[in-house]
Structure 1
Amino acid sequence: MAAANDESAARAREHLRGLVGAAEALGCYTVVPKHFRVLQRLADHGVFAAGAIVVGTHAFLGYQNLLGVRWADAGSTVDLDFADPGRNVSLALAPDARVDAHSAVDSLRMGFVPVKQGTRYVKPDEPDFDLDWLTVRTRQGDAPVRCEALNVWLQPLRFMELSLEAPVPAALMSSSAAVVVNLPRPEVYAVHKLLVLTERSDDQASKARKDLAQAAALLACFVERDPDALREVLHATRERGPAWRSGLDKGLRRLRGPYADVHRAIEALA
């Protein structure tokens, strides 16, 4: 029986390899091998089944396959960002299942070292290849939050809850395999990026420009394909309160100039 199961698994892997190879040949986005290795190990340990969400530039790049587009300037990223919404999703797991993101990272034996109270894993030999674990900032402030469900510490960030509500499943591929992860809804991610860039300090100008470029690309896509969904997210964001309205308006104003056509299209949605 074990031999039959092994043979069946080998056939499934070979079939998947053929599918993702065909998808890559057709122009689908694939994750660089070292990043995919991390994603696959976390998936194998049940981290995404437990509710963790891929955020940041890997989510943006993954939207290319989800939406059937290719970004003219997709940019590059050298880190991986994950977030947990703090919801109790234990019912989605087997009663005796153990989800341990820390052990998953450690088992890679890639040299990751936890810093910032475990909210970030760094590689001393690759200073920019970080794994960041994020969550929603509450009245408790910026102090790291222990996530027992994943066995990691999470760094709270302002506005993060927007990207963590009602995530969507998506497949991220390498040239020979694929993993199913959770991503923020793309129209929500776009609005979140408008909010995030207004929080950037002066020494994070390059990150703010990347935030703006990603937001503009997704906003332009939704203006054309699903303006009602975008209008709904913009309205819901404004309804969250004065700080949210102010941040959104500041972010939208930043579209003027470099992305004036997108700014005009957003104004026309109102």
Structure 2
Amino acid sequence: MDIKEHTMTANSAYLDLLDLHLSESLSDIRGMPTQRSRNGRIYWYDRYRVGSDTKERFLGEDSPELNAKLKFHKAHKDDAKARKERMSSLARIMTADRFLRLDKTSGSLLSAMAKAGFFRLGGVIIGTYAFRAYEGELGIRLSVEQGAYTQDIDIAGFEHLSVAISETDQASPKADDIFKDLKFEAIPAMPNEHIWKWTQTKGEAVVEFLAPSFGSEESTKYLPALGVSAKCLNHLNYLIRDPIDAVLNYGSGVLVKVPSPQRYAIHKLIVSERRAEGPSPIKARKDRMQAELLISVLAQERPDALWDAYQEALSEGPKWVARLESALQKMPKVSGVLNGLKGAEV
């Protein structure tokens, strides 16, 4: 597969822009960053007072990266204006090197959701919009065909994390208000129904919220931190575990969460077989194309991470193994790449 790369200047611009957005996301800390332990994991909150009440705002799960950003914020909290100007300049460098840009509809919507806290509070973009984010993460130049626009914006989240976060923090403004302002309407727009899908009133854009399922896909779950219901889908638990930060190219950039590229690639192999069994053979081919590109790059750049993601998927059970084997039978080159990682035998 012919893989093209962005220039070193554009790659550096992306990484600098990501760092600045992460710093910007902490620039509105109002009080004292505070740790809280939940289910064996440590999370950071902005703890501050409003009158006689104590409030908490979710910042993220504890990590060396978040700790570094908190220290950076403390040292540079007065640099907001210069940071914004630098962000705009870096975004222009990326565009000049042909980083794919979001269209106005998706860019406006994702920007509004980012400002409302959807990605800070556990929302993870999946699907083609996540794939486009790997252009910066991996330094690869996507063609128009590879990163082709889709009318579907899919956002997933864990129910248990959303419940925990919602005790102290929730997205604001709420999803209903954002979608109303941007001329989207709920489906189904009926009282007492769980709403997990919105469509553009004068266009074809569709937004769906999803949550991991471990069996039936006929139910929905409520994600209280995001204020939305989500349709249950299998395999999502694997996909959105340990997401990464990314910036999408719109305006001066939109900070979002996406799956790690190695999980995305392996997940696409599985999903391609599910689509092949249903009415979406064209989407199955697109899934395989995205998986092949990412696996080709990751086998060279991050072989250990790719190997671990592949082995984790194989350990999920016989149905996962069967779908992976079926997908790889259609993709002998990709099968060879995966089998060649650490001399593995599948």
Higher relative contact order (CA 8 A, sep 6+): 1
For the pair 1:67 / 2:138, whether they are aligned, the reply is yes
Tell me which residue corresponds to 1:211.
Answer: 287
Gaps of 5+ in 2: 1-78, 189-193
SS in structure 2 at match of 1:264: helix
SS in structure 1 at match of 2:94: helix
Contact 1:47 1:100 in 2 (8 A): no
Question: Rg larger in 1 or in 2?
Answer: 2
Aligned counterparts of 1:264 and 1:18: Cα–Cα separation in 2 = 42
Aligned counterparts of 1:180 and 1:206: Cα–Cα separation in 2 = 30
Aligned counterparts of 2:268 and 2:284: Cα–Cα separation in 1 = 9
Give the CA deviation at 1:89: 5.6
Q: Indicate the percent of aligned positions where both proteins have the same amino acid.
A: 24
Aligned counterparts of 1:248 and 1:50: Cα–Cα separation in 2 = 32
For the pair 1:88 / 2:165, whether they are aligned, the reply is no
Tell me which residue corresponds to 1:3.
Answer: none
Aligned counterparts of 2:86 and 2:297: Cα–Cα separation in 1 = 32
SS in structure 2 at match of 1:118: coil
After TM superposition, where is structure 1 displaced by more than 3 Å over at least 4 residues in a row?
8-15, 89-101
Give the CA deviation at 1:88: 2.2
Q: Which has the higher strand share?
A: 2
Tell me which residue corresponds to 2:259.
Answer: 184
Aligned counterparts of 1:202 and 1:131: Cα–Cα separation in 2 = 21
Give the CA deviation at 1:118: 1.6
Give the CA deviation at 1:250: 1.6
Give the CA deviation at 1:262: 2.6
Tell me which residue corresponds to 1:248.
Answer: 324
Tell me which residue corresponds to 2:334.
Answer: 262
Contact 1:42 1:101 in 2 (8 A): no
1:36 to 96, 107, 115: 107
Tell me which residue corresponds to 1:111.
Answer: 183
The TM-score, its normalising length taken from structure 1, stands at: 0.86
- Matched to 2:260, the amino acid is R
Pick which of 80-89 and 177-186 moved more. 80-89
For the pair 1:197 / 2:272, whether they are aligned, the reply is yes
Contact 2:163 2:224 in 1 (8 A): no
Number of equivalences? 257
Tell me which residue corresponds to 1:228.
Answer: 304
- Matched to 1:123, the amino acid is Q
Give the CA deviation at 1:86: 2.2
Q: Where do 1:96-175 residues align within 5 Å? A: 98-99=171-172, 101-107=174-180, 109-116=181-188, 117-127=194-204, 129-139=205-215, 141-174=217-250
TM-superposition CA deviations, 1:87-135 (whole Å, max 9, x none):
426777894655454235335x2321111542111123223x1001111
Pick which of 110-119 and 242-251 moved more. 110-119
Aligned counterparts of 2:338 and 2:302: Cα–Cα separation in 1 = 12
